[in-house]
Structure 1
Amino acid sequence: MIFRKKKKVNPRRQQVRDNIATERFSRLAAVINSPFPKAVGILTVFVLITTLTLGLDIQPEPLEHTALWSLKAWPQLLSLGVIVSGISVGASLYLYYYQFRILEKSTRVIALATLFWILLTITCVFSFEDQWKPLAVGPAVACAIILTIAYDQRFAIGMMMFYTMLAAFAVDQIASVELLLIMVAGALSCCFSLREIRTRKKLIEVSLVATIVVFWTATALGVVQDKPANLYFLHAGIAAAATFVVGIFIQAFLPIIEQTFGIATSMTLMDYSDANQPLLRKLAMDAPGTFSHSLLIGSIAEAAAESIGANGLLCRVGAYYHDIGKIHKPGYFVENQMGSASRHEQLSPAMSQLVIAGHVKDGIEIAKEFGLPAVLRQFIETHHGTTLMKYFYHEAKKKQDDKQGPVSDSEFRYPGPKPRSKEAAIVMLADAAESACRSLTDHTPAKVETLVHQLAMKRLQDGQFDECDLTLRELSCIEAALSKSLAAHHHGRIAYPKDEEKTASNENTEKQPKTKSDLDKTPTV
């Protein structure tokens, strides 16, 4: 037996091999800890359940010795599973490239998959009788409206295409092109006509538009196929009625949709912007200076957001609530001191830092107590990011002893997190700019613009915008909008001329000596 001698490996090559193995292991660990395994598991379960649902053969009038329902033959079921898998993988890739944030939270993926399965099941139920198949347009329209409300138009249009393909197979074994086109027409009309919900009648208007589009599309397809007039008018009427009823149902279940997807529609934001909201009333009573500051931040942040196409209403309402944590200790913040002595004079810089930083955590707890939506709570926790409290940091450096070690700036930073959306970044910058602008003695547009630019560059260099997809061009537009709004707010006034006759008479009166009776009439203080 011949034993082969182990080849000696160069130490450098061995080090390279070890590094490569370490990198592969770290990549594997990153994949395992990423949201992909959960997403793949959810996708697999969705494909299996959907295939079984679409593979049911239901007999509305079962014959003797025939079951009410049964599964299709296994070759058909297997082929159907391949088709469902292909469509589902396509939808997953669309999520990966255009809405990756959904994959980061498994609850969002589960909500989306559950929505698809429920609507497909309803479509299967409507498919028992041929005359009721046009009702399948209703779930397609519901899918388009819900996804547009929960996310945006682009995402809703893309996902709606995948849903209508699955729904066409839910109606029949052979996908009906006619029904597919009707569903696409109704869903597209909803996606394009529904941008935001600011009024309670918006969904009714969208449903009415979709109803008209569905009716005329179904009618036109019936004429093209040379069907009897009474038949295609019946199918068009059923599809149009289902479309309109869906809008009514979604209007009724809108709060549940918002809670399921963790969103707040524009209509909900408008409700929270009302000054009669209990939390805003409490802020106005307990911290009037902070309330006034928040109103101004909301105004300038909304203008800045609209300059880059962001959600201006969300910025405004988020700014109203960003400082609610100051309700607990309003006297420790300069805008509420009303000219009285600062309470921080009696505290050490470290203690003052704890008090100031505490308003972020207090704000989160108050927001949860009052049931504030998560989309508004982000402004409370991110409006300072991890910025440095420069005043107290420099005070601590002045007072440090030789016995103590050097003061670290990490001890005087806010806990964060950093802004994760454009709207949160805008409110952060607007808050800093408005506060700093109050310290200026001369509010000329040039000085305001210079101040805003310096603050923006400091936040950028400090890495505060690292976690939000804000571009330099958008940051420049935000700076210009904030500078314009702040300069307009701090505009100057010309001095009104005094009345010369009254001034002369007052001077003569002051020069005349007072009599004893005049002195007796002088009020005492």
Structure 2
Amino acid sequence: KQIEEDNSEDIAEAKTIVDDYLSSQELESNIEVILREMCESQIKANYFFDQSKTDEAVKEALKSVSKVMIKKNQTIVKEGEPITQQQINILAELGLVGEDLSKDYIYTYIILAFFVLFVLGMQYMYLKKEKKEILIDTKLVFLILLLNLLSVISARVFTFVSLFIIPIACAPILMTVFLDSKISIVINSLNLLFVAVIVGFDPQVILIGIVSTIVSSTTLKKVSQRNDILYSTVYVAAAVAVVILSSGILLSNNIKQILLDVILAVFGAFISGILAMGLLPFLESSFSLVTNMKLLELSNPNNPLLKRLLMEAPGTYHHSVMVANLAEVAAEEVGANPMLVRVGAYYHDVGKIKRPFFFGENQLGGTNPHDKISPTLSTTIIISHVKDGLELAKEYDIPKVVSDMIVQHHGTTLVKYFYYTLKNSSENPDEIREEDFRYPGPKPQSKEAAIIMMADSVEAAVRSIQEPTLEKIEDMVNNIVKDKMNSNQLNECDLTFRELEVIKACFLRVLKGIYHHRIEYPTEKGKE
């Protein structure tokens, strides 16, 4: 169409030139008319558009033009340099400039938001199905979200240095210590989707993430001290070194670059361990969480409160150690936290520090102060050791999970000795109320607290047996566990009947070792 318009303009211009020329020659009118008609009849278009020929010419021209390849991370325009039309065209082809650029960003953010919701939704579905108790605890939910954010931020920051130096194992280590190895593997495997986006879906980094998550989580299943984190870091470093070395050889022949990547990946693994150890105390205090490492510190005999218990109520201290030995073995068999049970047993009777001689284990054969006071007052003193223990726990900053066992280890049981003593000696026994002789509770809310309750009663009762035998001990253990069940003290914890049988068997095994038959050593004749 454009060519046709151009031809019409050219023909009109040529005719105008002929008219002007003939007019300037002063010819006779007849001759001028004849010449004008002759010239105009000869003025015709001699340039036409041929679509097929044009297409062929374009194809031939394209063959002679070299292709422009834009590689990943290639600099197209340097800062401060003039930009050419070719560079503008390239940027437009890449979608980096143009009128619809803002719309592209909006679409990107919408897709990214759906991606984030998808990953968080998958994590929620897993926790809802496997670990509902975590979703109920707001602190643990915030902890998981914080560790998710930590993974993303650390990946983004360390990417500016190198993809291989990202401390991917940091979040799995912390999640394993605070929660559980299975939770850590699932949650952090889903978090790798975020990391993958940040690193441009680099296959080697994704492999590092998978291996680091699995190795760090599985090697910290039974973490009990802070050095365990360093040992786990060594395993992670060795694993990622093998992964980078083997995958690097498959993907490249540049041995120097492969070795450099291995060094960076190992360094990143150690950064993960260092960051985890540094963040651990901060997260413990911020979220009021107790790790096995914290429990190990609390179990140290040099702990100020335990030292007071040893010095001021040695009989109670010895009793607490025996209860811990009983309870820990049972906890291991029924899937409870043995370290938590041991520490809870150590502290369950710390309230006796305030009035140690009102408790039989501290009287050492002396006079019994209860003989001089009424059964009602004696009951008040006995029951008050729970309240006193809670106050001491707060004073010495004992974690709530341990102080809960101080409060729950007697539940709402009856102080039978003084109750029956008063009832038998009272003129109106019907006026004696059981409620006045019961501990205030609450009842044990966890397996650990229930195990300590039963171990506490078993240890005290077996110690009172005259000439203990295996049969007497077995009868005593059975009666105590049965009494706790019949008095509904175990209704609010999640122990099963099968687990109760396992607990009784564990108690008997430990007690059998303590109260085994001892032979009488002979003496030489003639000597005493």
Instruction: With the length of structure 2 as denominator, give the TM-score of the two structures.
Output: 0.75
**Structure 2 residue 237 is the aligned partner of structure 1 residue 215:** no
Distance 1:62 1:409 in 2: 87
Counterparts of 1:477-516 in structure 2 under 5 Å? 477-496=502-521, 501=526
Distance 2:272 2:302 in 1: 33
Distance 2:218 2:185 in 1: 9
Which residue of 352, 360, 366 corresponds with 1:334? Answer: 360
Aligned to 2:501: 476
**Structure 2 residue 142 is the aligned partner of structure 1 residue 110:** yes
CA deviation vs aligned residue, 1:324-367 (integer Å, no higher than 9, x gap): 00001112111112223332233333332221111111111111
Q: Which range moves more in the overlay, 211-220 or 144-153?
A: 211-220
Aligned to 1:189: 215
Q: Does structure 1 retain, via aligned residues, the 8 Å contact 2:457–2:480?
A: yes
Instruction: With the length of structure 1 as denominator, give the TM-score of the two structures.
Output: 0.76
Distance 2:232 2:106 in 1: 42
Rg larger in structure:
2
Amino acid at match of 1:121: I
- Aligned residue pairs: how many? 435
CA deviation vs aligned residue, 1:30-52 (integer Å, no higher than 9, x gap): xxxxxxxxxxxxxxxxxxxxxxx
Q: Which range moves more in the overlay, 91-100 or 248-257?
A: 248-257
Aligned to 1:133: 163
Which residue of 424, 435, 439 corresponds with 2:464? Answer: 439
Q: Does structure 1 retain, via aligned residues, the 8 Å contact 2:415–2:437?
A: yes
Aligned to 1:243: 269
Distance 1:135 1:375 in 2: 37
Q: Which range moves more in the overlay, 102-111 or 471-480?
A: 102-111
Aligned to 1:322: 348
Secondary structure at the counterpart of residue 308 of structure 2:
helix
- Aligned-pair distance for 1:237? 2.6
Distance 1:498 1:80 in 2: 86
**Structure 2 residue 86 is the aligned partner of structure 1 residue 86:** no
Aligned to 2:197: 169
Q: Does structure 2 retain, via aligned residues, the 8 Å contact 1:211–1:240?
A: yes
Counterparts of 1:10-159 in structure 2 under 5 Å? 63=79, 73-127=105-159, 129=160, 132-136=162-166, 138=167, 140-159=168-187
Aligned to 2:407: 381
Q: Does structure 2 retain, via aligned residues, the 8 Å contact 1:445–1:484?
A: no
Aligned to 1:19: none
Aligned to 1:452: 477
Aligned to 2:377: 351
Distance 2:300 2:150 in 1: 36
The answer for unaligned runs of 5 or more in structure 1 is: 1-58, 504-525
Q: RMSD of the alignment, in Å?
A: 2.9
- Aligned-pair distance for 1:93? 2.0
- Aligned-pair distance for 1:63? 4.7
- Aligned-pair distance for 1:145? 0.3
Q: From the superposition, tell whether residues 439 and 224 of structure 1 become closer, same or farther in structure 2 (CA, over 3 Å).
A: same
Q: Does structure 2 retain, via aligned residues, the 8 Å contact 1:280–1:321?
A: yes
Distance 1:248 1:94 in 2: 29
Counterparts of 1:271-290 in structure 2 under 5 Å? 271-290=297-316
**Structure 2 residue 427 is the aligned partner of structure 1 residue 372:** no
Q: Does structure 2 retain, via aligned residues, the 8 Å contact 1:315–1:427?
A: yes
Distance 2:267 2:493 in 1: 43
- Aligned-pair distance for 1:256? 2.1
- Aligned-pair distance for 1:495? 4.1
Distance 2:376 2:119 in 1: 58
Secondary structure at the counterpart of residue 73 of structure 1:
helix
Aligned to 1:300: 326
Q: Does structure 1 retain, via aligned residues, the 8 Å contact 2:237–2:269?
A: yes
- Aligned-pair distance for 1:448? 0.7
Q: From the superposition, tell whether residues 385 and 62 of structure 1 become closer, same or farther in structure 2 (CA, over 3 Å).
A: farther
The answer for unaligned runs of 5 or more in structure 2 is: 1-74, 82-95, 97-101
Q: Does structure 1 retain, via aligned residues, the 8 Å contact 2:150–2:171?
A: no
- Aligned-pair distance for 1:430? 0.8
Aligned to 1:14: none
Counterparts of 1:259-278 in structure 2 under 5 Å? 259-278=285-304
